[in-house]
Each structure stands twice: as C-alpha cells, then as structure tokens.
Structure 1
Amino acid sequence: MSAKVKETAKEEVQNVRKLANDGLKSGAYMYPIKGIFYYVSHRSLWSPLVQKLAPTITLGLGVTTFMFVFTYLPQAAVMAFTSGPLAAISAALLVLSESSTLTMVLSKALIIEDSLIDTFDGTLVERGHPALVAKERQVKGGGAGDVIARLGKLAGKPFAKFTPKAIIRYFMYLPLNLIPVVGTVAFVVLQGKKFGPQAHSRYFQLKSMSGPQKERHVDERKAAYTSFGIPAVLLEMVPIAGIFFAFTNTCGAALWAADLETSGTTAPGLKEQAKKAE
C-alpha cells in the first residue's frame, strides 16, 4: 500500500510539473498583464467600465460589509489555530479576498456581462478582426475613433447567467484557504483552471464551436488556459481594483484570441471537421 501511495504521488507530481512546464511554454500567463497595458493605452475601450463603475462599487461595498459582519469572527476563530497571533490580520485579508471574489461573481452575472462582451469584441476589432465579431453583431464602418460605438446590438450572450453552482463551488474550495500557503495556492489553481476557458466563452461563440469542438480546443490547451487563469484570478481577487482587472483580463483574453486567429492555430482540425459535416 505504501509503495502504491508513493507511486501515485510521484505520478501526480510529474503531471503537475508537466502542466506547469507546458503553461510556461505557452506564454498564456502573460496575457492578463498584456491586457492591463493594452486597456490602459486604448481609451476607446474604457466606456463600458465607466458606465458600470458606480453600481459595481455599490455592490462591492454591500458584499464586503455583509461578509465582515457575518463571517469575520468565525473565520478569525478558526484561523487562531493555524495562524496564531496573526489570526485577526489573516482573517481580515481572507474576508477581503472572499468579498472581492463574490463581488466579481455577482457583478459579472448581474451587472457587467454586456460590458465585458463589448470590451472583448472592441479589442478584437481594434486588433483587426471585425469580420469575426460581425458573425454575432453588426460592426459599423469607420477607422480610428470610439471602437465601442462601432459595435451594434448583440445577437447572443455566451456568458453563463447567475446560478447557485458558482457560489456553491466557490464555498466548497474556500476552506482550502485555512491551510497556510499550500491551501491558498491550491485554491487559486483550482479557480484559475476554471477561469481560463470561461475567459474565452465569447471567442468560442464567435468561432461557432460546438460542444465537442470547444472541449477539444480547451483540452489541447489545458496548460495554457490554466496558466492564463491563475494570474487573472489573482488580479480579480484584489479588493476594490478587482472590477478594473475584470475588464483588463477580458481585454487580455481577446488579445490572446486575436493572436490565435492571426497564427491560425485555433482548434486544430476544426476546419476539417466542418468540411466533413458539409
């Protein structure tokens, strides 16, 4: 039994190491950072954020207040056993992180969904892919200027509406944060693994990918999507600034999609499958 446990542990370590190496080679982890610089330097992409800033901040303040009133003391009590005298500070930081994450989940589902889609589509148009965006909405002609103003009405919305599953899954992973260092790392990795493919939901829709095609595309880039998701999750966990990073992450995801289009490496075999279907 001991030998099997060691063998299994060794295999898991090798799998994690391979995933990490593949993620580093993909360079996808840089796109959340690229998204920040691109977003800041292109003012034409700012209007969706500006329009939703006030209601999102109001939601964030409400969630943070609720979390401190109802969850701070219980978590501080538990962390007294793991963090000792630093329990009060650790619990406060944890509550802030939890509040930021919950604010993102709720705001994406209830407030900024359309704004994030506009940011994604606007970035693709800026990067020279208006034809791709035009598959799901009208793109008005024009050169330099307000790229968001060139976007017509949405034909469809790819992002999942609010469901209890997102909150339930979050709270299932939440206890990992009570384990110093290792638990927090595991929490972020699990969240990032889910976040990566979700960031390209709009791209999958614009490419008219079926369920199996999308699964194949993601599976072939599993390490890349995880490496994108981890820094993106960390950025959105930053209290207050998380809303800003939600838009820069969307911009970064669109930059990645634009590069996939330019290099022609989207879902290898997708074109062949489409021809066979015809």
Structure 2
Amino acid sequence: MSPPAGPGSSLQPPRARASSSRRRILHALRPAIYPIIGIWYFLRHREFHPLFLSRLLPLSLISLLVYLVLFTFAWLPQYLFLAVLFHFQGKAGAAINATFLVLGEGLVVIQGLFEGFFVDECRVDVFDATLINYGYIDLIAPHRVLFPDAPNSVKTLGKPTTRAEYNPWSFTQIAELIVCLPLNLIPWLGTPAFIMITGARMGKLSHYRWYRLRGISKNEMKKDLHNRSWEYLWFGTVAMILELIPVLSFFFLLTSAVGAAMWAADMEERSRVRVGRQVTDSERRMALPQQAEEDGPVYHDDPV
C-alpha cells in the first residue's frame, strides 16, 4: 500500500489534477476575449472614433475594391480547383476553403500595401490612449510629449520622442503569410491551421509596443513571449478571424489594438501589485515631464 501523500508531495488526487488542468486551460483561453471586448471599448469611447473615420475609413473603402476584384476573378477558379481535386469534401467544403483562400490573399495585398505604412501609427495612438485611460501615464510619458490638460486621452497624446511602432512591418511577415496561404487548400483542417499559425504570430506582435514602453530587452521579450505562447495564440487567433472580415478589417485592427492594451493594463496591474504596491495617481502625475511651450503644437497627426 502506498503511503499517503504528504504536504510536500507532488502527488495530487485525480480530481485536483483535473481542476488544476481546467484552471490552466481557462487561463490560457482568457486572452481570447480581449479582441472582442476591445470592440465594445472602442465603440464606447468616442474620442477614438475620429482615428478610424479620418484615417482608416478611406482605406476600408479601398480594401472593399480589393476584395471585389479578388472575389470576382479569383474565387471561382479556386473553388473549381478545390472541388475537382478534393471532390470528397463536397461543394460546401470547397466553397469555404476557396473563400478563406481569397480572404487570405486579400489580407496579403492589404498588409503589403497599407498596414505597415498607414495603419501602424494609428494603432500606436489607440494603444497609448487606452493605457492612459487605465492610468498608466508613467509608461507613456518617457516616450512621447503629453498634454495632461487635454479633454481626453487621444488629445493628450503629442509627438513621440522615441521610435513608436505597434507592429514592426517586415517583408518576412508578408512572406510567412504567403507561405501559409496554401494551407487553405487542405480540406477541413487547412483553414483552421492557417488561422491559428498566422494568429500565433499576430498575437505575439500585439504587445511589441508594450514591451518597448517598458524598456524590455529582446532576450527578455522572447522569454516572456515563450512563457505566454498559448495565451498569445488564442488572442491572435481571434484577432486574425476579425481581420479576415472584408471591409471591416481596418476597424478590427484598431479594436484589437485596444484589446491588446486592455490586456497589457491588466498584466501591468498584477505585476505592480506583485512587486509590492501599485503606483499611486500622484506618482503617475510626477512621471509627466514638465513641458514648456517650446514643446511645440500637438502631434501633427492628430485627426480631431
């Protein structure tokens, strides 16, 4: 007969192990809700709306044209190819795979032409403004001019004083997306694999700005991303599904950035409590640099 497990033993009864496993799974899945609640947060905060209407609405209309061309000329040939080659999956399966293949092709075009050059600056603004709404001015103050007397968090943002990137654009990122596109040709499993593989990368990049604001080194960032790989996978998967929605993809780029900032704010709060105590409001105000008039006007990129 085995001796009973003592307090220091690693042995756990099956029910306790199952409960522990459920907690770990739920903890990993929790980030998946942030892209969704980011939509609600963005819609609720009207100061964010001009960022989309003035900068990204025209690009959304251009993306509509891109998808119209692709669905007109590319969808039917790809559907016929899939229907003939993988006839066992049926017409519905071929139609679904062809649709996601065209959506992925549109995403490659949109990311290659617009996302890195016209959208990233806007995502930096909504990310920083959300952190300010949560009270983390001390994170933003060392990296951009701030106007604390402004009526809202977006107006508070001035010109960046350090390099400001939400998601650094690279040809490698586009190449990986192109390489993964053929996964949509695989019946049943191909499309989920495409979304999750590309979503995993998207999830990890969603907190690039947060790590830069905190001054985290690349090695520390890689280690942290590895430890949270499952959490970033589920966040990125949901964000990727939203981004594949035609016309609204640019809108969801912003709302997912808001969701990423909300997630970062929650982790920031837990980490500060864990090391001893939270930063008080007075300390956050002290973190604001004393800005004289020579700081210049509000950031030239301000749409409001």
Alignment correspondent of 1:108: 115
Q: Pick from 20, 32, 37: which aligns with 1:34?
A: 37
* Maintained 8 Å contact 1:176/1:183: yes
Are the structure 2 counterparts of residues 224 and 162 from structure 1 closer, same or farther at C-alpha, using a change threshold of 3 Å?
Answer: closer
1:131 is matched with which residue: 138, 144, 147? Answer: 138
> In the alignment, which residue of structure 2 is the partner of 1:275?
none
| Long gaps (5+) in structure 1 | 1-17, 269-278
1:10-51 Cα shifts (integer Å, max 9, x gaps): xxxxxxxx9998453231111111211111111112222112
Q: Report which stretch shifted further, 99-108 or 214-223.
A: 99-108
Secondary structure of the corresponding residue to residue 265 of structure 2: helix
- Among residues 124, 138, 143, which one is paired with 1:117 in the alignment? 124
| 1:3 alignment counterpart | none
Q: Does 1:56 align with 2:56?
A: no
Q: Give 1:235's aligned residue.
A: 242
> Which protein has the larger Cα radius of gyration, Structure 1 or Structure 2?
2
Q: What corresponds to 1:193 in structure 2?
A: 200
Aligned match of 2:231:
224
Distance 2:118 2:246 in 1: 18
- Tell me, in whole angstroms, the C-alpha distance in 1 between the residues paired with 2:134 and 2:247: 29
Q: What's the CA shift for 1:164?
A: 3.0
CA spacing shift, 1:70–1:157, aligned 2, 3 Å: farther
Q: Secondary structure at the match of 1:138?
A: strand
Match runs of 1:1-278 below 5 Å: 22=24, 24-26=26-28, 27-68=30-71, 71-80=74-83, 81-82=85-86, 83-86=89-92, 89-90=95-96, 93-94=99-100, 96-102=102-108, 104-106=110-112, 107-142=114-149, 145-154=151-160, 155-159=162-166, 162-264=169-271
Counterpart residue identity of residue 59, structure 1? I
User: Matched residue pairs, number?
Assistant: 250
Q: In structure 2, what is the Cα distance between the partners aligned to 1:265 and 1:101?
A: 38
**Partner amino acid, structure 1, of 2:211:** F
TM-aligned CA deviation for residue 184 of structure 1: 0.9
Cα RMSD of the aligned pairs, angstroms, is 2.8
Contact 1:63/1:99 (<8 A) preserved:
no
Give the deviation of 1:96 after TM superposition. Answer: 4.7
User: Tell me, which stretches of 5 or more residues in structure 2 are unaligned?
Assistant: 1-19, 276-304
What amino acid is aligned across from residue 39 of structure 1 in structure 2?
A: F
The 3 A distance-change label for structure 1 pair 131 and 109 is same
Aligned-partner Cα distance in 2 for 1:238–1:20: 31
Does the CA-based 8 Å contact 2:79-2:94 persist in structure 1? yes
Q: Deviation string for 1:96-134 (max 9, x for gaps)? A: 522552355233212111101000000000111111011
Q: Distance in 2 between matches of 1:114 and 1:74?
A: 37
Q: In the alignment, what sits opposite 1:273?
A: none
1:160–1:49 CA distance, 2 compared to 1 (3 A): same
How far apart, in 2, do the equivalents of 1:164 and 1:178 lie? 24
**Pair 1:94–1:228, CA change in 2 (3 A):** closer
The one-letter code matched in structure 2 to 1:141 is P
